[in-house]
Amino acid sequence: MILVTGGRGFIGAHTVRALLDLGERCVLGQRAAGPPPALVTEREVREGRAVVEPMDCTDLGSVLAAGRRHRVTGIVHLAAAGMGASAPLDELSANAAGLFTVLRAAREWDAGRVVVASTIGVYAGVADPALREDAPLPIASLHPIPAAKKIAEVAADIAASSGLDVVAARIGAIWGPLGRPSSPFFATPRLVHAAARHAMAAGGASVSSAARAGEAQAAGEGGMPGEAPPSYAEDAVDMCYAPDCGRALALLQTTATLRHRTYNVGGGRAVANREVAAAIGRAVPGAAPALLPGRSPAAPAVDPCLDISRLRQDTGYASEWDLDRAVTDYVGWLRAGNLR
């Protein structure tokens, strides 16, 4: 079975779904108790293809206990301390402890491959906007997340030199079902949630006060209460729809032979807000968001994007979700009782 730490979370749930679709069985390691994510069917749970196990990745004993109940043949390590939930040093310590615990467990179990989540943020400060895995990374980081991921990549490389099969996945901006209604890093989740609210209101459906309050809070500063902060038409980001991200991670786990230790996971190009707005207008007529012209003052001169050539060449990965299909799917999922 493949252990997916954080398997009930956003990216974890989509990774589990992709692994199940590839014929694998999964252990969903999660600190908080709860049922499997909605992406897992009741039949898969009944048949034991997807099993939720309580697990604290900072506690080696709790991780090894899962290995006594299941034959773990590979690990996708996605669990992480909640962003901003504690002081940066405490968060960094928890994430490092979790990684070392998972690597020790993999060695104990003689597990196959360990895929460790990294982030596009490690490239901050790299001059070339085409972000390639062999680019030298600056040591300094402006945020605790890329700092922690750089540490994770170094630790993974050391573990690989000792015989473990460890791969780091540098993940871009991910959006889609189960994701947060707003992101501090890109506008798409908020814009799609607003379109879903518009569609429900136009169809006479009631939008709960909780959903309205959540959207207002997600808007943050930069607008009146209930209004979204301004988004600029030409601001762009490398983003990947969550089912595609899950499948990429599943392929990194299951592909028999990989030629590299680090892989970018993203869309492979920078998508501008105006493209997202146009796709929203096609999916929900009348809901295309108004955008400010040009680029925000903080935007880079050239938008960086992840080069995913390695991922494509070594795993056969190809995106199954173009922008229009993804926006339509996400709006439909939100309207089906998932708007919050």
Which DSSP string corresponds to 177-210? TTS-S--SS-SHHHHHHHHHHHHHHHTTPPPPHH
With bands split at pLDDT 50, 70 and 90, how would you rate the model's confidence at 140?
A: confident
Beta sheet of 165-171, edge-to-edge order:
50-54, 26-30, 2-5, 74-77, 113-119, 165-171, 262-265
User: 134 — phi, psi (to 5°)?
Assistant: -90, 5
> What would the pLDDT profile of 101-115 be if each residue is shown by its tens digit?
999 999 999 999 999
Q: Which residue has the tokens 């995106």?
A: 319
What is the predicted pLDDT for the residue at 256?
A: 95
Helices 88-109 and 144-161, packing angle to 10 deg: 20
DSSP 232: B
What is the predicted pLDDT for the residue at 39?
A: 94
In the chain, the largest separation of any two C-alpha atoms, in whole Å, equals 61
With bands split at pLDDT 50, 70 and 90, how would you rate the model's confidence at 212?
A: very low
What is the predicted pLDDT for the residue at 191?
A: 96
> What would the pLDDT profile of 26-81 be if each residue is shown by its tens digit?
999 988 777 888 899 999 999 999 999 999 999 999 999 999 999 999 999 999 87
What pTM does this model have? 0.91
Q: Which residue has the tokens 């994007």?
A: 305
Q: How far apart are CA 236 and CA 306, in angstroms?
A: 13
In the chain, where are the structural domains located?
2-171, 188-237+269-303+321-338
The answer to whether 167 and 258 have CB atoms below 8 angstroms apart is yes
CB-CB neighbours of 250 under 10 Å: 27
CATH superfamily to which 2-171 belongs: NAD(P)-binding Rossmann-like Domain (3.40.50.720)
